[in-house]
Amino acid sequence: MERILNFIDGEARAAVSGEWLDVHAPATGSVYAQLADSDGRDVDLAVAAAERAYPAWRDLGREGRSNALLKLASLIERDTEAFVADESRDNGKPVALARRVDIPRAIANLRFFATAILHFSSEAHAMDDTALNYTDRQPFGVAGCISPWNLPLYLFTWKIAPALAAGNCVVAKPSEATPLTAYRMSLLCNEAGIPPGVLNIVHGLGPKVGSAIVAHPDVPAISFTGGTRTGAEIARVAAPMFKKLSLELGGKNPVLVFADCDFEQMLRTTVRSSFTNQGQICLCGSRILIERSIYDRFRDAFVERVRALRVGDPADATSDLGAVVSQPHLEKVLSYIELARQEGGRVLCGGERVLLGGALANGWYLAPTVIEGLGPACRTNQEEIFGPVVTLQPFDGDAHAVELANATPYGLASVIWTRDLQRAHRVARALQAGIVWVNCWMVRDLRTPFGGVKQSGVGREGGLDALRFFTEAKNVCVRL
Ligand code: NDP
């Protein structure tokens, strides 16, 4: 059986403990690999390797670092089909999605930050004839990067690429549920010319490995993407140590459908924004708010489209949805559907497991689920489910739409469907969210700030924000 090893100081290594964790394939529910079950000792080795490598990596300069990251991107691109198959096997997502989104985006992340660093500049503030201030931005040493299972290589590279481009060394932990593509990538680092110790990947459980990275005194900055509860725990540990923190957390994203929208375009995109990656994208819209005058029309047309989605083998190019990531996650999503029923919701379609035959009989498949009849205050409309489940709520007028949209503790992304330009701007401004899409969804320009408000996170990643996070700013004031 394949073994997934740590990557420390340029070498693939077992955990110091010598222990292993099982890694499951969601499509079949069976164990397909073993993962190094690391702990604080492995993190200590990784941090020490990163500290040793740091001065030379920093001094390699922007072009040297850029070239190494570009080479890594090209090697992943060369092996695209292997990465696609691995991502799908590890996560349960359709291969078609991994081929269209996950792996190209991981490559794009590396290329984007490898070139962004070449254009990165900082500010100067002249004080008439008195003095000139300039902002010197330098890397700080070792960055800790912790990423989740839903978009494994995509979110992993989103963090490590700016950290490395800026001149830091990295100790990173992918989710223990989906470690495979980060491991595959680590095996390409030496060929890419990334010196030993610059990128270290420590696999294992969050409470053992993730928490050791967060608590390590020689890791002054943590970039984390994951659940809000884990983010709060990380902040509790890191804040008294005065670490830099970037937290990208959960969401309960609203989709606002106004009666004047382009109905067909809205419908097509809303099916995608609800169920892409089995609804396991932090940006998926899980609360669909519909202007009352088109509520029935929307509901009937939407449910018809959702019923036509094909849940099936992730390896089959015709599958629209694959498996959800794990047995506990399947049970969590099913428990929320049960909760919705108890709260008085009507399940319009889905609401149950999908049982496939043969080798897939024990896979973790869920039918895409649409629920109506629930008010904004119930738990189903307040808590993040993070699966193929959406609710429908009618609204009357702009103010009511905004009130419903903002009525959760989260504030990550939102979508507005309208042809009224002024309303689009007005509502976009009123929404409590870090990201607003108007008449589209998941259109991403990597230069834009990315992050959430309220319990969806602290700080922004993407573009200059990421490069600023991974450097320290120092004002130098020179008398003229
Ligand atoms: P978790 O918070 O459970 O885990 C995220 C990562 O943190 C994993 O690598 C996990 O390891 C690790 N971890 C767990 N406990 C600790 C700890 N005490 N200290 C340090 N690290 C720890 O999230 P999920 O993996 O379940 O991901 C789903 C969540 O991520 C959803 O809430 C989703 O909304 C959010 N998300 C947010 C995005 C955003 O940009 N805002 C984007 C994508 C997802 P392990 O896997 O071993 O437990």
**Cβ of residue 312 lying under 6 Å from some atom of ligand 1:** no
In the structure, what pLDDT confidence band is assigned to residue 395 with cuts at 50, 70 and 90?
very high
Question: How many domains does one find in the chain?
Answer: 2
How far is the centre of ligand 1, averaged over its atoms, from the C-alpha of 248 (Å)? 9
**Cβ of residue 282 lying under 6 Å from some atom of ligand 1:** yes
**How is residue 465 written in tokens?**
């924000």
Nearest residue (CA) to ligand 1, atom 25: 148
- The catalytic residue positions are 248, 282
Beta strands in 231-299 (DSSP E): 244-248, 253-257, 285-291
Q: For residues 25 and 50, state if they share a domain.
A: yes
**Cβ of residue 233 lying under 6 Å from some atom of ligand 1:** yes
**How is residue 215 written in tokens?**
């608590």
Name the residue among 205, 212, 143, 199 with its Cα closest to residue 175: 205
What mean pLDDT do residues 213-219 have? 98
Chain center to CA of 163: 16
**Cβ of residue 434 lying under 6 Å from some atom of ligand 1:** no
Q: For residues 340 and 191, state if they share a domain.
A: no
Q: For residues 163 and 196, state if they share a domain.
A: yes
Q: For residues 239 and 313, state if they share a domain.
A: no
Mutate which of 90, 149, 159 for ligand 1? The one with the most ligand atoms within 8 Å of its CB, which is 149
Question: CA 336 to CA 343: how far, in whole Å?
Answer: 10
Where do we find the tokens 């595959």? 184
- Which pLDDT does position 106 carry in this prediction? 98
Check if the beta carbon of residue 47 is closer than 8 Å to that of residue 216.
yes
Residue 210, phi-psi category: left (phi > 0), alpha (psi -120 to 50), beta (remainder): alpha
Q: For residues 73 and 124, state if they share a domain.
A: yes
What mean pLDDT do residues 83-97 have? 98
**Cβ of residue 159 lying under 6 Å from some atom of ligand 1:** no
How far is the centre of ligand 1, averaged over its atoms, from the C-alpha of 251 (Å)? 12
How far is the centre of ligand 1, averaged over its atoms, from the C-alpha of 223 (Å)? 11
Q: For residues 140 and 36, state if they share a domain.
A: yes
Identify whether 451 is part of a domain: no
Mean pLDDT of the chain: 98
Q: What letter does residue 195 receive in the DSSP assignment? A: P
**Cβ of residue 249 lying under 6 Å from some atom of ligand 1:** yes
CATH number at residue 58: 3.40.605.10
Identify whether 359 is part of a domain: yes
Question: CA 127 to CA 312: how far, in whole Å?
Answer: 65
Check if the beta carbon of residue 143 is closer than 8 Å to that of residue 185.
no
Quick one: which atom of ligand 1 is closest to the CA of 281?
Answer: 43
How far is the centre of ligand 1, averaged over its atoms, from the C-alpha of 371 (Å)? 26
In the structure, what pLDDT confidence band is assigned to residue 337 with cuts at 50, 70 and 90?
very high
Q: For residues 226 and 286, state if they share a domain.
A: no
Beta strands in 265-350 (DSSP E): 285-291, 346-349
Angle at 405 between CA 437 and CA 398, to 5 degrees: 85
- Which pLDDT does position 299 carry in this prediction? 98
Nearest residue (CA) to ligand 1, atom 19: 211
Q: What letter does residue 255 receive in the DSSP assignment? A: E
User: 414 has which bridge partners?
Assistant: 436
Q: For residues 34 and 139, state if they share a domain.
A: yes
Nearest residue (CA) to ligand 1, atom 12: 206
In the structure, what pLDDT confidence band is assigned to residue 186 with cuts at 50, 70 and 90?
very high
**How is residue 219 written in tokens?**
């890791």
Identify whether 215 is part of a domain: yes
Question: What dihedral angle (degrees, nearest 10) is formed by the CA atoms of 178, 179, 183, 186?
Answer: 100
Where do we find the tokens 């300039």? 134
Name the residue among 53, 21, 470 with its Cα closest to residue 202: 21
How far is the centre of ligand 1, averaged over its atoms, from the C-alpha of 294 (Å)? 37
Question: CA 321 to CA 8: how far, in whole Å?
Answer: 36
**Cβ of residue 227 lying under 6 Å from some atom of ligand 1:** yes
Phi first, then psi: give them for residue 104, nearest 5 degrees.
-55, -40
Q: Under DSSP, is residue 354 helix (H, G, I), strand (E, B) or coil?
A: coil
What mean pLDDT do residues 377-396 have? 98
Mutate which of 150, 211, 234, 444 for ligand 1? The one with the most ligand atoms within 8 Å of its CB, which is 150
- Which pLDDT does position 109 carry in this prediction? 98
What tens digit of pLDDT does each residue of 436-469 get?
999 999 999 999 999 999 999 999 999 999 999 9
- Which pLDDT does position 111 carry in this prediction? 98
How far is the centre of ligand 1, averaged over its atoms, from the C-alpha of 402 (Å)? 29
User: 8 has which bridge partners?
Assistant: 11
- For 211, other C-beta atoms within 10 Å of its C-beta total 20
**Domain carrying residue 360:** 253-446
Question: CA 319 to CA 474: how far, in whole Å?
Answer: 52
Nearest residue (CA) to ligand 1, atom 39: 248
What tens digit of pLDDT does each residue of 352-375 get?
999 999 999 999 999 999 999 999
- Which pLDDT does position 253 carry in this prediction? 98
Check if the beta carbon of residue 239 is closer than 8 Å to that of residue 416.
no
Length of the chain, please? 480
Identify whether 354 is part of a domain: yes
**Cβ of residue 248 lying under 6 Å from some atom of ligand 1:** yes
**Cβ of residue 206 lying under 6 Å from some atom of ligand 1:** yes
User: 415 has which bridge partners?
Assistant: 255, 437
pLDDT cut 90: percent of the chain above it: 100
Nearest residue (CA) to ligand 1, atom 40: 248
Q: For residues 290 and 243, state if they share a domain.
A: no
Q: How far is CA 471 from each of CA 110, 183, 339, 447, rounded to the nearest angstrom?
A: 18, 26, 45, 17
Nearest residue (CA) to ligand 1, atom 9: 175
**How is residue 410 written in tokens?**
């989260």
What mean pLDDT do residues 52-67 have? 98
Quick one: which atom of ligand 1 is closest to the CA of 226?
Answer: 30
Phi first, then psi: give them for residue 339, nearest 5 degrees.
-60, -45
What tens digit of pLDDT does each residue of 305-319 get?
999 999 999 999 999
pLDDT cut 70: percent of the chain above it: 100
Nearest residue (CA) to ligand 1, atom 37: 249
**Cβ of residue 177 lying under 6 Å from some atom of ligand 1:** yes
Question: CA 300 to CA 283: how far, in whole Å?
Answer: 24
Q: For residues 79 and 202, state if they share a domain.
A: yes
Q: For residues 26 and 82, state if they share a domain.
A: yes
Q: For residues 221 and 367, state if they share a domain.
A: no
The crossing angle, in degrees rounded to 10, of helices 421-430 and 397-405 is 40
CATH number at residue 391: 3.40.309.10
**Cβ of residue 150 lying under 6 Å from some atom of ligand 1:** yes
Check if the beta carbon of residue 162 is closer than 8 Å to that of residue 465.
no
Question: CA 135 to CA 165: how far, in whole Å?
Answer: 18
Q: Which residues contact 138 (CB under 8 A, 6 or more apart)?
A: 58, 167, 471, 472, 474
Check if the beta carbon of residue 364 is closer than 8 Å to that of residue 28.
no
